[in-house]
């Protein structure tokens, strides 16, 4: 007798940065595989909702452990952007496997460029964290100096930026990470906003201090031979991919219910990889109601 609806397997995950849980820094996390319930939820999310908010909601569902305890919306929002992307990558890997297929467009001739890569090829830069915030001096274009205290971008900063108009997102993110700003020298006597020069210095510092999960690829267009490099934004890319795959969930539930007579709730509770094993059998046997 097949046990349907058993708890999905969990996988431990070592965060490349880490977060403070109950006062101590930890890099320990665990995730469970996606189930049909998660996919039904993913299939239904409103595409107008910014991806940072969807990513938070998905991690709240699938992260089972942070430090010694469980996950919480608060902790998911506290996590560094690189750690959140790393968890999403782990979730993708354990639920859909390591092989990625993406399609991009040649900037020269607009032809489709198909790109395949493996999750293990995605560089993860570990930057274990020990400080909540950092102090530095930034120099504005007019030569005035700002003493600032800032933290590295976290989920809650991303969410704040995601709600701002497109053109303002980068500056809203930086402003959200600033904890104290004080003018120490020069004409900008009042500690004002960062100008472009100071903002760029801060972005560079953050990049050097934060864990990074980024994928830059050198591509050659098969049509015109144009060479280009493309920086895949991992979070939106994986969420799009998961959302697109999730559109088939009801068709898959139908196929399994039709052939195995399992209940809808049991099928939805199955981890995605196990559900796909049975769907594979149906396809092999050419069963009626098998997924197209």
Does residue 146 contact residue 182 with C-beta atoms inside 8 Å? yes
* Residue 160: closest CA among 177, 141, 173: 173
Per CB under 5 A, does 224 bind Zn ion?
A: yes
Stretch that binds Zn ion, among 99-107, 119-127, 189-197, 246-254 (CB under 5 A): 99-107
Q: Decide whether 121 or 227 has the Cβ nearer to Zn ion.
A: 227
Per CB under 5 A, does 127 bind Zn ion?
A: no
Q: Decide whether 106 or 270 has the Cβ nearer to Zn ion.
A: 106
Per CB under 5 A, does 108 bind Zn ion?
A: yes
Distance CA 258, CA 109 (A): 47
Distance CA 176, CA 42 (A): 28
Q: Decide whether 109 or 137 has the Cβ nearer to Zn ion.
A: 109
Per CB under 5 A, does 230 bind Zn ion?
A: no
Q: What are phi and psi of 151, to 5 degrees?
A: -115, 160
Options 29, 75, 76, 221; binder of Zn ion; rule CB under 5 A: 221
Instruction: Characterize the bridge pairing of strands 215-220 and 212-213.
Output: unpaired
Q: Decide whether 179 or 223 has the Cβ nearer to Zn ion.
A: 223
Stretch that binds Zn ion, among 107-115, 153-161, 206-214, 277-285 (CB under 5 A): 107-115
Stretch that binds Zn ion, among 7-15, 49-57, 207-215, 226-234 (CB under 5 A): 226-234
> By CB neighbour count within 10 A (0-12 exposed, 13-18 middle, 19+ buried), where does 19 fall?
buried
List beta partners, residue 63: 31
Per CB under 5 A, does 109 bind Zn ion?
A: yes
Q: What are phi and psi of 277, to 5 degrees?
A: -60, -50
Q: Decide whether 106 or 122 has the Cβ nearer to Zn ion.
A: 106
Give the max Cα distance, the chain: 78
Per CB under 5 A, does 42 bind Zn ion?
A: no
Least Å distance between CB 121 and Zn ion?
23
Per CB under 5 A, does 111 bind Zn ion?
A: yes
CA distances (Å), origin 142, targets 21, 184, 187, 199, 202: 41, 13, 8, 13, 16
Q: Decide whether 143 or 222 has the Cβ nearer to Zn ion.
A: 222
Size of the site for Zn ion (CB under 5 A): 8
Interface residues with Zn ion (CB under 5 A)?
Answer: 106, 108-109, 111, 221, 223-224, 226
């Amino acid at each position: 007798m097949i046990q349907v609806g058993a708890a999905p397997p969990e996988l431990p995950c070592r965060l490349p940065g880490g977060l403070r849980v109950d006062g101590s820094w930890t890099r320990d996390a665990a995730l469970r595989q996606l189930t049909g319930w998660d996919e039904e939820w993913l299939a239904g999310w409103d595409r107008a909702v910014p991806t940072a908010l969807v990513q938070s909601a998905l991690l709240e569902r699938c992260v089972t452990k942070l430090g010694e305890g469980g996950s919480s919306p608060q902790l998911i929002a506290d996590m560094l952007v690189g750690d959140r992307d790393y968890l999403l990558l782990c979730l993708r890997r354990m639920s859909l496997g390591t092989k990625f297929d993406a399609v991009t467009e040649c900037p020269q001739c607009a032809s489709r460029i198909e790109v395949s890569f493996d999750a293990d090829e995605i560089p993860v830069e570990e930057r274990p964290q020990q400080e909540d915030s950092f102090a530095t001096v930034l120099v504005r274009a007019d030569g005035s100096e700002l003493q600032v205290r800032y933290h590295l971008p976290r989920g809650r900063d991303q969410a704040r930026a995601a709600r701002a108009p497109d053109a303002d997102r980068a500056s809203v993110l930086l402003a959200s990470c600033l904890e104290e700003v004080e003018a120490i020298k020069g004409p900008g006597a009042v500690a004002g906003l960062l100008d472009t020069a100071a903002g760029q210095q801060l972005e560079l510092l953050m990049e050097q201090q934060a864990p990074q999960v980024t994928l830059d690829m050198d591509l050659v267009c098969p049509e015109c031979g144009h060479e280009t490099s493309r920086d895949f934004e991992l979070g939106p890319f994986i969420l799009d991919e998961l959302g697109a795959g999730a559109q088939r969930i009801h068709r898959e539930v139908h196929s399994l219910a039709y052939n195995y007579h399992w209940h809808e709730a049991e099928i939805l509770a199955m981890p995605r990889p196990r559900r796909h094993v049975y769907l594979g059998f149906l396809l092999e046997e050419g069963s009626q109601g098998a997924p197209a």
